[in-house]
Amino acid sequence: MQTASAIAIFCEDIREEKSGQDTIIGTMPDNLAIQLPPAGIPEGALPIIPKLAVYVRLSFDIRQPPKTCEMRLLDTSDNIVAASKWDQSVIESAFADSAKNGMPIVGFILKMVLGPFNVKGRGKMMAIVSIDGSDRVAGALNIVDASA
């Protein structure tokens, strides 16, 4: 069994329901076409996505708890746009709950909602998950120029 897996879904918004469930709104394709201005345009003139959300789901083998678990969102220039990490007490509690319930895996969810979001240019935005210092790509959103 794989010790850990991570998947990120890029979307327009994430709505938290009263039931505790999440509704993912407006999932984005792998290649998102946006009308980009010519090179050299000031940052204030860059296109804006009103809301950009990332829904990340991590799953761990119940026998392999991580010591550290972090996530960061990189823009098309590899700059960190947002970052978050799970506190060790949260990790330990989730593993204890899953063990008590006889689950073979332990799941974690992270939600990021950014807005408005300036699109700095074409290229790949990446959701990177770092587990015990080892990075893995959970998802990528390729920004392409709609006029090209």
Residue 120 pLDDT > 90: no
Provide DSSP, the chain: --SEEEEEEEEEEEEEPTTS-EEEEEEPPSEEEE-PPPTT--GGGS-EES-EEEEEEEEEETT---S-EEEEEE-TTS-EEEEEE--HHHHHHHHHHHHHTT-SEEEEEEEEEE-SEE--SSEEEEEEEEETTEEEEEEEEEEEETT-
The pTM for the full model equals 0.87
Rounded to 5°, angle at Cα 72 from 6 and 99? 40
CB 61 within 8 A of CB 4: yes
pLDDT the model gives residue 60: 95
Residue 148 pLDDT > 80: no
CATH 2.102.10.10 corresponds to the domain 4-145: no
| Distance (Å, whole) CA 14 – CA 22 | 6
| Distance (Å, whole) CA 4 – CA 119 | 31
Q: pLDDT per residue over 23-54, tens digit each?
A: 999 999 999 998 877 666 665 567 888 999 99
Write down the domain spans for the chain.
4-145
Residue 1 pLDDT > 60: no
| Distance (Å, whole) CA 108 – CA 89 | 13
CB-count exposure of residue 35 (10 Å: 0-12, 13-18, 19+): exposed
- Average pLDDT estimate for 53-64: 95
Q: pLDDT per residue over 96-109, tens digit each?
A: 999 999 999 999 99
pLDDT the model gives residue 146: 84
